[in-house]
Structure 1
């Protein structure tokens, strides 16, 4: 919407008379008075300064036509805003653009835009409007390869082609970590053992199957008494070891008559423990 700071009505009257009479410099005079606020208004609609400048330029260019119906001074300012608003609604592909080159883009778009609009109208007769000229980028010098350099490169390529490919170093696995080994758990010796007052131990047999296994006791669970076990080590494929599981009776074990528990191992496997308790 138009801002509150508007030029005096007599200023709008002179602008209207200049446009109606197609006087030289009339469009440039309109831009000098209303250009900044029109660009700000268009930028608020488009969200981009360069497109806003182009929209205002295109809208004011249309004022140079002989058939333009310029309103009176009282509605002139609102009419300009409507022209810019309509121009902002035109698709980008259908709007003419000003081509600017290099770091002078902002100056050409804003400061010198109406040197093009009013060429031949307010400047010296016969003076052409300034045109931004693109300076071509300097091309890189061509590289000339001598016959001797070609022969040398050819020899290098042939030598590289004839050399056998370097053998990739083999990855050596650390000792004791080869093979997809797994752990077989034999817990038959810990089933139904009798506990009377003193701790009682039972064996759990661990065997490495299919490869080397790094084993360890990971957890122990008890019910009715206290079960304990610990240890760890390395077993080659087919080798075995024994883990001692200790069962200590408690009051609950005597009350219930027995209990149980389990011992878990890594990389996998669990031994089940069961026992009975009685008084001496």
Structure 2
């Protein structure tokens, strides 16, 4: 069950501003705030703990590099989910992705006894039956709504669709979930009241398969007896609390901060930042579902029509298939951090992945206590966020030329007596620039990365060492080859000997 608290969007705005300024502390706070949620979301898409951790890592590094481009910082939360989703889609598209998947252990509730766990498992099977009739994107939307606490415009941003389309998707998903839950409840308790129900579920298979769930839903609509029972509403939000949440690996946070902070290898930061591109004019990542595939060698055989459309459709099928695995993968699957992970085979061909329509019985495995992240829980009371008019299509025009790459101009800075930090100016000249701090000298501490459009500028905060033993100057090196000089004053002349400096304590009041 998710224990995530409701988050204040004003804090998101504060962190977005800090990220845009290249503050490593803002990134650390953002990781503490969102890593568990976003890892759970990535795991729902990828169904592999290592791939999910890799996608999460790159999403945070990309956010650290590109937050300065985001013109709608009040929508920072949705933007983070869009970045994480794109990282997952990029991995799903990778033809070399591993065929073996190791699912993450579940966040456990240590206060539950054996009886509670058995009851929870029964309820999970009920919810699995209710979800089996939903399409993959509907499940994804409900996951973002009910468990992650996003509202319709934020879900639209995360999925790369307009606000109204997102609202329509959510409404349809909720309606279908209500229908599916009613069918599952009637399958459990309505066989004696209606012979047709008994005939439809006579095979005794539980949870319900998608075809059986659809048949029951159609039957209920035309059966007065079942319709009367169907009108006895059950809170889907409360029921969905029982579904599992993937456990965030302990090494993810330090790995993210190690990559973002100096002295991270420049090529690694730049590679991650560039892989997240392109972004639209508002600073939103172009969805992998909307990007035309790059030109390459064509396979022999008849020409294929609309390759970009086909490629996008394949990605949609993959994502839909990933969310069709909720909420478990079989009663024999071992779980928990103490047990060795069990593998499951991923489809070799994306075209064989379950489609965005309800799957066949073989594609709807029996649930267990295995972790899954498509599991919705009650919606936290959201703080309203402003809506925006739909952005134009994020699909770049084929004739659009890449922006001209410019040069990075940096300016040094100095710290006066009793000052601990100063700001290095960073500016793009003659075109857009992707930059990163790759190292320092003289005990200076600094970090940051990002992308600047032509003429745009930002600052990097440099901190001096605690001791003056190593001198009073240092440098900050950037990936472009530029270096900024940093100086500081840490002593003042003695009244008795103006030519001889005295050591000044960093914190005079400490004595």
Check whether TM > 0.5.
no
Higher share in strand: 1
Higher share in helix: 2
Higher alpha-carbon Rg: 1
Q: TM-score, normalised by structure 1?
A: 0.34
